[in-house]
Amino acid sequence: MLWPKLVCFALVGLAFGQLYQVASEETISACPTNFTQVADKCLLVDGTWKNFYESDRHCRSLSAGLLSIKNSIELNAINEWLPVIAPYQPEFWTSGNKLGQTRNDYYWQSTGEQALYLPWNAGQPTPASGDCLTLLANVTMTPEEAFLSAHRLTVKNCTQWAPHICQAPLQFFKTQLCLNTTAFFEAKIPA
């Protein structure tokens, strides 16, 4: 493909006034700064307590959205990651809500899609509790320590406080190794 070679030539050739050739090309994915790749998305836990609306604004200020969950594979990956990043935190805001709905149809605000996979905690949903969804783990206490169950969805009043999880999409780049007879350079180009 001619386009990558032209980009490599333009980036490096203009800087050094020499002709370069693309020696190799690879596509890589990366998360934004401070985000961690979990399943096929990038996540960031914010431990500050905010209501749903403040949490949503905070994620948007990072060019991200509140967490949405597509399927059990994604939820399992999140539940494996949370004890590592926030071991004693039982609750987090997600982007799930039914704002303006009279039925129990929930939507992921971050994607605009209807929430079809809803792994509820026991006894949920309880619409009288509110319109927004958190991931909540049950806490079991022993004299020695506390244990958290897997996080599952729970209905909560949107004006109550909880920490939150922001999500951002993976960013894909093509890396190109550009060569001439005396040097080599690597260029990252958004894919």
pLDDT tens digits, one per residue of 77-131: 999 999 999 998 999 999 999 987 777 899 999 999 999 999 999 999 987 889 9
- Chain centroid to Cα 70, Å, comes to 12
Structural domain boundaries enclosing 5: 1-29+172-191
Bridging pattern class, strands 152-156 and 41-50: unpaired
The model's confidence at residue 180, banded by pLDDT at 50, 70 and 90, is low
Kindly state whether residues 72 and 119 are assigned to the same domain: yes
State the residue for tokens 């020695």. 144
Bin 112: left if φ > 0, else alpha if -120 < ψ < 50, else beta.
left
> If you average pLDDT over residues 28-46, what whole number do you get?
95
What's the whole-model pTM score? 0.78
Query: Percent of the chain beyond pLDDT 70?
Result: 80
Same domain, 158 and 177: no
Domain count for the chain, please give it: 2
Same domain, 56 and 114: yes
37 and 129 co-located in one domain: yes
Distance CA 115, CA 69 (A): 8
Q: Which two tokens stand for residue 6?
A: 């032209």
Residue 5 confidence (pLDDT): 52
The Cβ of residue 15 has, within 10 Å, a number of other Cβ atoms equal to: 10
* 155 plus 64 within the same structural domain: yes
